[in-house]
Amino acid sequence: GAMTVRLYEPMRRHTTMLVGGPAQFWIEPHTFEAFAEAVAYCRERGIAVRVVGRGSNLLVRDGGIRGAVIHPKGGEFNDCHVDEEGHVVAGAGVRLKKVASVAEAAGIGGFEWMEGIPGNVGGALRMNAGAMGVETFDQVVSVTLLGEDGEIVTRSRDEVESFYRNVPELRRNFALKAVFSGEPDTAENIRQRWDDSRAKRRATQPVAASAGCIFKNPEAVPAGMLVDELGMKGTGEGPAEVSAEHGNFIVNRGGAKAGDVLGLIERIRGQARMKRNIELETEVKI
Ligand code: EPU
């Protein structure tokens, strides 16, 4: 059928941090229509709706999630192709790494920064994910989304305001797919930037289970540098540990609970407040 539904689905199976209790209703729509139907069904019944893609920037509490979690998957959600205008079209369920490799194969440059981002297109749009000085919305041409009235609409980039790790429109409405633009380039140049991104990431970021950067960078100092200066790298709360490689990552050494991670986040925020008078804001969604 056009959707799959499961009850009490453990969220630790669907987050890169590998923590989190059960989602009451787990819904996998495979078409935009099925997605719209699932949202309408829940809203009519007062069931809270959340959308989770790859779960890479998400910390789910141990008590789980009341209501429905919609996970766009399969069908048009996983379509990724280059159109006649040389734009890359990708459904919300496509991995960013896939977008980068489809662009590379077509000789379109500018997507290399996506190679190491462990997220899907939907989540990247929602939070304006970025790396290597580029943000998702730098490359958006248009976004197709499910509006509040249940209509599926396409908005050009100019119609959707985007900020550092924040796209207010996509907090209210759900992204279904997007069209991205890059620049035609040689295979060598693209490969070079891809390798540079990979090398930088490998040299500075952990490979262990994590949710990527935990905090937004405050204006005064990058969060990773701040945690480093506070001497908190390598400190832990149970199996949850501040990465020894990068201060803005918390890694799950195996079997950590969301409570361990949250405890560690609060400890870091407390130290930053006390010693540097900086109020850290989480980048991961809790
Ligand atoms: N630094 C330290 N100690 C550390 C970590 C970093 O001194 O433990 C220093 C670095 O040497 C550098 C500065 O802090 O001078 C910034 O570090 P980095 O270059 O690693 O970049 P970042 O600002 O920490 C941002 C994004 C990452 C993205 C990288 C690479 C945010 C919150 N983070 O990190 O995104 O991968 O740039 O482009 O904007 C994410 O969004 O989840 C994420 C990991």
The percent of residues in the chain predicted with pLDDT above 90, rounded, is: 98
Q: How many residues does the chain have?
A: 286
| pLDDT higher than 80, residue 1 | no
213 is catalytic: yes
| pLDDT higher than 80, residue 9 | yes
**Higher pLDDT among residues 148 and 163, named by residue:** 163
Q: How far apart are CA 253 and CA 217, in angstroms?
A: 24
| pLDDT higher than 80, residue 247 | yes
> Residues 203-230, buried b or exposed e (16+ Cβ, 10 A)?
eebeebbbbbbbbbbeeeeebbebbbeb
Closest CA to 27 of 46, 58, 49: 49
Query: Is 268:249 a contact under the CB 8 Å cutoff?
Result: no
ipTM exceeds 0.95: yes
pLDDT at 230: 98
Give the strands of the sheet with 152-156, arranged side by side: 80-82, 88-91, 174-180, 140-146, 152-156
Closest CA to 155 of 146, 138, 169, 143: 143
pLDDT at 152: 97
Among 95, 213, 237, 241, the active-site one is 213
Query: Taking each helix axis from N to C terminus, what angle separates 187-204 and 96-105, rounded to the nearest 10 degrees?
Result: 150
- Strands 134-135 and 130-131, by their bridges, are antiparallel
Closest ligand 1 atom to Cα of 224: 5
Q: What residues pair up with 95 in beta bridges, in sequence order?
A: 120
Q: Which of 15, 112, 114, 204 to mutate to test the pocket of ligand 1 (most atoms within 8 A of CB)?
A: 204
Q: How sure is the predictor about 259, in pLDDT bands with cuts at 50, 70 and 90?
A: very high
Per-chain mean pLDDT for the chain: 97
CA of 176 relative to ligand 1 center, distance in Å: 29
pLDDT at 172: 86
Give residue 66's identity as a one-letter amino acid code: R
pLDDT tens digits for range 175-224: 999 999 999 999 999 999 999 999 999 999 999 999 999 999 999 999 99
Average pLDDT over residues 121-131: 96
283 is catalytic: yes
pLDDT at 202: 96
Closest CA to 88 of 101, 74, 75, 76: 101
pLDDT tens digits for range 29-66: 999 999 999 999 999 999 999 999 999 999 999 999 99
DSSP assignment letter at 56: S
Closest CA to 21 of 29, 31, 13, 11: 11
Q: How sure is the predictor about 262, in pLDDT bands with cuts at 50, 70 and 90?
A: very high
Q: Which of 16, 54, 213 to mutate to test the pocket of ligand 1 (most atoms within 8 A of CB)?
A: 213
